[in-house]
Amino acid sequence: MQKEVRKIQDLELRGKRVFVRVDFNVPLKHDGKNWVVTDPKRIEGALETIRHIIASDGKCILASHLGRPKGKKDLKYSLEPVGAKLSELLQKDVILTDDCIGDGAKSLSQRMRNGDVLLLENLRFHEGEEENSPDFVAKLMELTDVYVNDAFGTMHRAHASTVGLPKMVSQKGAGLLVQKELKYLSALRDNPGRPFALIMGGAKVSDKMGILEQFLPKVDKVFVGGAMAYAFLKASGHEIGRSLCDEKQEQLASKILRVADARKVKMFLPVDHVATSAISDVKGKVLTGGVDIPKNLLGVDVGPKTLELFQKELSGMKTIFWNGPMGVFEEPAFSTGTFELAKIIAGTGALKLAGGGDSASAISQSGCEDKFDFISTGGGATLEFLEGREFAGLKVLEYRVMGDG
């Protein structure tokens, strides 16, 4: 007997209240009057599943968290701006409940017509969500005929809406976005097309240790940029100036370098840098002539020689996976390395994949989004999945099927 994850396409949705766990944990800003969504990608990612339910004459009930309200109602974390953006994208009325549980939400769910869309207020306004409380699960059950999880970024958490509720529902499955995540990330984790290049950026080696260890046996080239590169450079005997790097990060980098060398995996580190006296000192930025960073400066981006090297070495790759920026790309003066790398990857003939979060934002800002085969919405969950960790929210959707023999 083997196990598979049931899909939304396998479920009878017509006339049913379909509770969909989505990930609408999106960035907001206050425009002087209201909170507005600044990056709707996660909302857009759920549209295919929502439209499938509408087209199937189901009653779509969406549930998400937003921010960290710590189990109490906090209007700063209300899903009201999310509902407004979703309504705009769907070109359809979306009703927001005052609370995600209780008589009001239950009554609204019972009055829904086929094709209606209801958005529940923030799940984390209740402690029971993160605690996976049986009482909270029971109240969510009052709104649920069919359960669908389309929030890959939360499937590693054993919360009420990801594990407790689906355990109580017989008709359950994965949404279309989760299916897409599993298709691309499973293939990448288990059998990437070779030659395979892994590009790692971001702040800490420790954050990426799991994925580096997982992929070293099956990767051909590893490229390192961002703040974590300084740990590798220091471990290799180079001067990194005032760039952040503690002893633990250096030790981890040293270990990775030894393992990569033993496995004959080629590691490519920055060969030049954009450096400055402080991140706030935009006008004081300089290009280093080589690998070493002057003692009074800190690295904030990779330089043009590094990009040239990376472009040359990425040529001919069959698979490229990128996670993490090459520098402090939020500051326009230090964004060139990250945006140019996105364009370099986009110009290759490889299967091009990226892990969410900062990488997704950078690719979008570089204008290369449509050139990538897949950009994960999972953030930290993407890395955990690629590390081979078990997801409680995925396991609960599994069912047994007959094996081949």
**Overall average pLDDT of the 352-361 stretch:** 85
Which pLDDT tens digit goes with each residue over 251-280?
Answer: 999 999 999 999 999 999 999 999 999 999
Topology (CATH) of 2-176: Rossmann fold (3.40.50)
Say what the pLDDT of residue 2 is.
Answer: 59
Among the listed residues 16, 21, 42, 208, the single catalytic one is 42
CA-nearest of 306, 319, 288 to 224 is: 306
Q: Are 383 and 323 in contact (CB under 8 A)?
A: yes
pLDDT band at 356 (very low <50, low <70, confident <90, very high): low
**Overall average pLDDT of the 20-37 stretch:** 92
Among the listed residues 284, 380, 388, 389, the single catalytic one is 380
Among the listed residues 139, 180, 204, 234, the single catalytic one is 204
Q: State the number of CA atoms in the 13 A half-sphere of 185 facing the CB.
A: 27
pLDDT band at 127 (very low <50, low <70, confident <90, very high): very high
**Overall average pLDDT of the 375-383 stretch:** 89
CA-nearest of 131, 132, 163 to 149 is: 163
Mean pLDDT, the chain, integer: 94
Say what the pLDDT of residue 207 is.
Answer: 82
pLDDT band at 377 (very low <50, low <70, confident <90, very high): confident
Which pLDDT tens digit goes with each residue over 101-125?
Answer: 999 999 999 999 999 999 999 999 9
Say what the pLDDT of residue 401 is.
Answer: 61
**Overall average pLDDT of the 128-139 stretch:** 98
Q: Say which residue, 131 or 378, is predicted with more confidence.
A: 131
Q: Among this protein's residues, is 316 annotated catalytic? A: no
Q: Which amino acid is at 31?
A: D
Q: Any idea what the Cα angle at residue 364 is, between residues 207 and 333, rounded to 5°?
A: 75
Look at 79-83, 92-96, 242-246 and tell me which has the smallest mean pLDDT: 242-246
**Overall average pLDDT of the 217-229 stretch:** 95
Does the domain formed by 191-386 have CATH 1.10.1060.10?
no
Q: Among this protein's residues, is 42 annotated catalytic? A: yes
Contacts of 219 (CB under 8 A, 6+ apart): 192, 196, 197, 198, 265
Instruction: List helix spans (H) across 132-235.
Output: 134-141, 165-168, 176-190, 205-215, 228-235
The DSSP result for 49-103, as a single string, is: HHHHHHHTT-EEEEE---S--TTS--GGG-SHHHHHHHHHHHTS--EEPSSSSSH
Which pLDDT tens digit goes with each residue over 32-90?
Answer: 888 999 989 899 999 999 999 999 999 999 999 999 999 999 999 999 999 999 999 99
Among the listed residues 202, 357, 378, 379, the single catalytic one is 357
pLDDT band at 3 (very low <50, low <70, confident <90, very high): confident
Q: Among this protein's residues, is 389 annotated catalytic? A: no
Say what the pLDDT of residue 403 is.
Answer: 54
CA-nearest of 43, 47, 37, 6 to 23 is: 43
Say what the pLDDT of residue 1 is.
Answer: 47
Tokens 């600044």 correspond to 38
**Overall average pLDDT of the 7-29 stretch:** 97
pLDDT band at 405 (very low <50, low <70, confident <90, very high): very low
**Statement: residue 404 has pLDDT above 50:** no
Ranked by mean pLDDT, which of 26-30, 302-306, 367-371 comes out on top? 302-306
Q: Say which residue, 377 or 5, is predicted with more confidence.
A: 5
Contacts of 46 (CB under 8 A, 6+ apart): 20, 22, 23, 24, 62, 150, 175, 177
Q: Among this protein's residues, is 221 annotated catalytic? A: no
* Residue extent(s) of CATH 3.40.50.1260 domains in the chain: 2-176, 191-386
DSSP state of 282: S
pTM for the model stands at: 0.91
